[in-house]
Amino acid sequence: MKIKLLTTAMLICTALTTYAQCLNGGCDVGMSRSAIENGVFVGHYEDGEKLGLGISYLYNPEGSSIIYANYINDKPNGVVYQQDILTSDEITVHTFKNHQNGSIIYPAFRFTKENKKTKIEVAFKENDWKKYEGDQVEGELQIKNVLFDGSPAFLALNGKDQVMALSATISHIELLSSEPQEKYYNPLQLSSKDNRLVINVFPKAGADETEFKTSLDWDMEKPQEAVWYYKRYFNNELVYKFNYEDVLELPSAQDIKQQKLEKAFEFIAEQVDDYDFEKGYEGKAKDFIDILNDIKERAARKGLTASSTYDITMTKLHLINGDKVKSLQFAQNACDKTPSSYDIITNLIKTEFTEHTDILPMLKKEERLAAASDE
């Protein structure tokens, strides 16, 4: 029973040992922000894994990069769009690569914009960018030029299967979503036009219900004031809406770990309140004390602190064991942490441990200070 209680309590506070790179939001379930190499990631998490539209911000000596991708089981699925801004040369590079379970599916496209000119490149394998010069074929891979709504568009094919479809002009780039039956289904739909970036993720028909539709709307007309809005839908109903400032205001990873630790202490406190110590196992109070101390020691190694819930529960357990000195010690700790603890402990002693009412005066800080000065 002791092992079972400890295991249950530790399951409640599993965040004490996971998601070490999380910055805001917990990175367990919901919108969160986490640290990655050379930058940060912002997006939705489900059971600690990236799910749906995620945005990575990367920084390097040459400039900055923003990567937009749809994630399933923590891996990119569909077209990944990367925008590199080279600050010294005022060049913007747009790269599109399709992914399936994290692996790149070629061909891929790259558009470089400089001084109102656009250079188009294609790649049929890693780091093999070539200038686009009309329809091209390499083995089973090919690039075809077509028209889409009167504008030039490009198809990337792997055998007979479409890898991606792009429409591009000097003023805008549009990534077209796939048909559900396509082998390399691309859920990411993107439009960058007139200083406005709009991205939508449409899960494949029949996908698991956790596959939420997500969208991003970013007005970039004034880059220094640009604000993006991240929306998440389930069954076409808005689940939540965030901008970057909202994400920064989410609880920190440490705050969430502290919250989970408190839930573990509350769980043990409930077990203590429900246990019949008069009829039950004689050493049960000591078992509970050992469990609480074990949780506290594990938490301390993660930089977390025990709350007044821990001290109040320890007060009760030591009163049950008849240890007046330790009861007073934990009761005083609880009152120092939370003023409301005084009323809770007073009620506990007056209703369940009336023989120990003489320790109540020592719970008030002014009484303790007066006693200390008399010594």
Can you give the CATH number for the domain in which 260 is found? 1.25.40
Q: From CA 154, how far away is CA 101, in angstroms rounded?
A: 24
Q: Which domain holds residue 257?
A: 253-374
- The residue from 198, 223, 248 where one domain ends is 248
Q: Say how far apart CA 17 and CA 34 lie, in whole Å.
A: 15
Q: What is the dihedral of CA 109, 170, 56, 29, to 10 degrees?
A: -100
Give the alpha-carbon dihedral of 274, 275, 276, 282, to 10 degrees.
-170
Q: Give dist(CA 62, CA 197) in Å, integer.
A: 23
Number of domains in the chain: 2
Final residue of a structural domain among 194, 218, 248? 248
One domain, residues 140 and 35: yes
Q: Where is the domain boundary, 248, 272, 303?
A: 248
Sorted by sequence, the CB contacts under 8 Å of residue 136 that are 6+ apart come out as 122, 130, 142, 143
Classify residue 5: in a domain, yes or no: no
Alpha carbons 75 and 84: distance in angstroms, whole number: 21
Q: In whole angstroms, what is the distance from residue 150 CA to residue 170 CA?
A: 14
Closest CA to 147 of 131, 159, 164, 165: 165
Same domain, 201 and 83: yes
Same structural domain, 148 and 260: no
Q: Are residues 145 and 263 in the same domain?
A: no
H helix intervals, the chain = 2-12, 244-248, 253-274, 284-300, 308-320, 324-337, 341-352, 365-374
The answer to whether residue 11 is domain-embedded is: no
Take residue 176 and report the two structure tokens written for it.
Answer: 């077209």
On whether both 157 and 196 belong to a single domain, the answer is yes
Report CA-CA distances (Å) from 343 to 14, 245, 311, 331. 32, 39, 14, 11
Pairing of strands 161-168, 30-36: unpaired
Residue 194 lies inside a defined structural domain of this protein: yes
pTM given for the model: 0.72
Helix-strand-coil split of the chain, %, nearest 5: 30, 40, 30
| 143: β partners | 136, 156
Q: Return per-residue pLDDT of the chain as tens, 375 residues.
A: 454 444 444 444 544 444 448 888 888 888 999 999 889 999 999 989 999 899 999 988 788 889 999 999 999 999 999 988 887 777 889 999 999 999 999 999 998 887 777 888 999 999 899 998 888 899 999 999 887 777 778 899 999 999 999 987 767 888 987 888 889 989 999 988 877 888 988 877 655 556 678 888 877 665 555 567 888 888 778 888 988 888 888 888 778 788 888 888 998 899 899 888 888 777 888 989 998 999 899 888 888 899 999 999 999 999 999 998 999 999 999 999 988 999 999 999 999 999 988 888 888 755 544 444 444
Contacts of 160 (CB under 8 A, 6+ apart): none
Question: Do 313 and 221 have their domain in common?
Answer: no
| Helix H or strand E encompassing 280 | none
Query: Residue 67 in contact with residue 53, Cβ under 8 Å?
Result: no
